[in-house]
Amino acid sequence: MKFIACTEGHSSKIEAFSLEMIAAARSLAQAGDEVVAFFVGRDAEGASASFGAADRLIVARATRSDVIPAETYALLLRDVITAESPGLVLVPYSANGLDVAADIATRTGWPLVSYVNEIKRRGESLTVVAQMYGGKILAECEVPLPAVLMINPGAFAEAMPGPIAAVSVQTIDAEPALTGGKVKMVAIDVPDYADVDLTTAERIVCVGRGIGDEASIDLARNLATMLGAEIAGSRPVVDNGWLPKLRQVGKSGQKVKPKLYLALGVSGAPEHLEGMSQADLIIAVNTDPKAPIFNVAHYGATCDLFDLVANLSDRLRAGSGR
């Protein structure tokens, strides 16, 4: 059986989850199977230098654009699927993967399971474990092959990066598909980190939707100041305009690894955990004892966050003599 591991890279940086897709495929491959990495982008060299854990690499090389519209990625992937007849296509849960996975499943008519954490091979089918309801429920699913899976970043340990033999690399030209595509990239906005760079912060106090309203952010901000910490927020908090975008932690925000991460009223959805589960010390306060944030927390408390902020602030203030 052939496995296609979908990989990505932007601005000459190979995404770490690419190596996870290859590792996931490798973990399922048996004697005689083949793991084929598929890459679309400008950094063909980076892909060749990194994806040695695959048996083969198909590179659709772009020369102009750094960001490949998912439409184009999916179109090129379809051709590869037709040519290779894989048993399984592994797509990362990324901004690109979100558009690619179900598109491919529709065009092939194949089954799709998203948000997958575990995969087991059982003859002609797979059993996979996927997350639902913001990580509160795990679904064990049976998946007849061939199929498409969308895999959570972090679910599989990265394959060893290393070069792949030149004879195992097949290069195709992505430009015709990019030029002929209906979706055109017109701008990339990279944030200015001059104001705040959470990725280098040593201490972070993160507020989630549980904070309730904009005015209450100040309570958490005062606590953060006392702790010498940066204030951060989950997506809904930033979406509501209560904190600037650069202070968002998670999948579409920053990936942080501070010494202290204090999460107040954050449920711990997979997209949030992706940005902070590697922190050295995670303390979570959430009134819901089943909140998934407790699965990654080193210390968890189920009290009201406002009570905790008030009590902790009092003690820190007293301790510092202020």
Nearest distance, CB of residue 304 and ligand FAD, angstroms = 4
Output 71 or 288, the one with its CB closest to ligand FAD.
288
Nearest distance, CB of residue 221 and another protein, angstroms = 15
Do 53 and 156 form a contact (C-beta atoms < 8 A)? Answer: no
As a whole number of angstroms, the distance between CA 35 and CA 168 comes to 11
| String of contacts with ligand FAD for each residue 300-319, x by CB under 6 A | ----xxx-------------
| String of contacts with ligand FAD for each residue 20-49, x by CB under 6 A | ------------------------------
Tokens of 318: 């007293």
Residues 215-274 that bind ligand FAD (CB under 6 A): 234-236, 248-253, 265-267, 269, 271-272
Output 68 or 243, the one with its CB closest to ligand FAD.
243
Choose from another protein, ligand FAD, none: what does 234 bind? Cβ within 5-8 Å by kind: ligand FAD
As a whole number of angstroms, the distance between CA 300 and CA 304 comes to 12
Residues written for the chain: 322
Nearest distance, CB of residue 120 and another protein, angstroms = 12
Scored b (16 or more CB within 10 A) or e, 110-136 reads bbbbbbbbbbebeeeebebbbbeeebe
DSSP, collapsed to helix, strand or coil, labels residue 248 as strand
Nearest distance, CB of residue 36 and another protein, angstroms = 22
As a whole number of angstroms, the distance between CA 284 and CA 290 comes to 12
Nearest distance, CB of residue 202 and ligand FAD, angstroms = 20
As a whole number of angstroms, the distance between CA 145 and CA 111 comes to 8
Residue 69 binds to ligand FAD (criterion: CB under 6 A): no
Residue 286 binds to ligand FAD (criterion: CB under 6 A): yes
| String of contacts with ligand FAD for each residue 108-147, x by CB under 6 A | --------------------------x-------------
Which residues have C-beta within 8 Å of that of residue 159, sequence separation ≥ 6? 19, 20, 22, 23, 26, 53, 54
- 95 phi and psi angles, rounded to 5 deg: -55, -40
Q: Which residues contribute to the site for ligand FAD (CB under 6 A)?
A: 134, 208-210, 234-236, 248-253, 265-267, 269, 271-272, 275, 285-288, 291, 304-306
